[in-house]
Structure 1
Amino acid sequence: MVASRRPRLTPDRALPVAPGPPPVPTDALVRAARDGHARAFQELVHRFRPRIRALALQLTANQSDADDVTQDVFLRAWEQLRNFEGRSAFFTWIYRIAVNRALQVRQRSASRPMIDPDDPRVTLAVAADGHSHPHHAIELRERYGQLLWAFDQLSPLLRTTVALTTLQGLSHPEAAAVLNCPEGTIAWRMHEARAKLRDALARCNAAPIDAGVPARRARSAQRDRDPNTLSLAWALAAAFQS
């Protein structure tokens, strides 16, 4: 008697993977956390920490400070959560805490007098934008160093507005909600920031470059709200070409 052969499982015939449960809505997690459920708050931390950490790094320019700000933001959020009335979105509320704390930390640091080749924001941006174009990595590092030096020369309000809209990908209405100002103020600040960025970049003899594929990828990542993409290509293109 010949034993029947069992069919081999090939990739084309692989069994479909059942989708996992849908994520719990943020509002439901906030309500549970307000009622004292620590696990719900842990999920909020997991969900928002990458973006808060990115924002803290963009505003403080220091890895250690960014870590401290991020930890402090969620500690304060946990302590103040019972006072959160839900009149704004949770992300708006926690972003506001992050902006205020990051600016407080940055005020204690002296402004950078020159371009810092070891700026951690440059390292992360080059890793994001230069991995598929390694021959451009040196050029990107130089240009991003110049851009971030110019970015750091902006006033705190302009710097925060650029970080929220250009680097974090928030819409003007969302940024206005975080900064508690009219939407038109965000548009005016962006106009002023771009003019000042161009002037600062001209002073350090920065030349326009074609951001190309990295710029398109950056815009796509920001549109999809990828919290782990610290791309500066879109900001670079906007500073020179808008």
Structure 2
Amino acid sequence: MIQIGIVSDEISLDIKEAIEIGLQLGIKNYELRCIGSYEKIIPYVDNRDIEFILKNVETGKINITALSPGIFKIKPSEYEKIKFELETALPDTFKLARRLNVSKIIIFGFVKDQTPNENIIEILKIASDYAQSENFILAIENEPRFYCDTGKNTSEIIKLVGAKNLGANWDPANAVGAGEFAYPSGYEFIKNYIFNLHIKDAVNYPEFKCTLIGDGAVNWFGQLKAIINDGIISKINSTHFNRFPYRCTMTTKSH
């Protein structure tokens, strides 16, 4: 049975409030990204918040399904930032992930510039090899204006990296923003690489804008049916609650 989760800061940046509201909505699974403020991104958040999360994990009240530290949400030509993320941010994320009993780390596929794909693939190989040595899996989130933007492009890069522990954090709404017909077209390319699924909706005209499920261009009924029938994953995450967590949860469950 598919379990619904949520990126905690989509409910509230206050982690205590986020979990309190989430539990009231019957949500036990949480993905961590920003805590306290949008400038405080996992793993560099306040220790008191980590201790609060850890206590709730240890007592079985919640599960942390993934950490999203924003790794590689940069241009591949920003060498100093890449060095920091490979040598400092990623190891620090792994340390926190171990404490929280998390094996899945969400990363990104680099903001587009003039860098050849071969360079990106090499960086992702380094990250994947390191993650494999530490027993973690990496899931690339597709995002408009990134090298990994559509299901097609993301799948091609993952295939060329060739690491078993590198897959996709499939976001059909972001694929819409990149001009792809997310389901079934994008899904057919990416389905064999999906490690995680983000649920939101979006329109791409007159500009890219995220919406509640059912208000956008993603065929979520078909997409979720395919995810279930293909046995891809057992947990899904709603990522855009806006100010309406109850409505978002109910629309996700109804699909």
Which category of TM-score, normalised to the shorter sequence, fits these structures?
under 0.3
Q: Quick check: which one's strand share is greater? A: 2
Q: Quick check: which one's helix share is greater? A: 1
Larger Rg: 1
Per the normalisation by structure 1, the TM-score is 0.25
Per the normalisation by structure 2, the TM-score is 0.24
- Bigger RCO (CA 8 Å, 6+ sep): 1
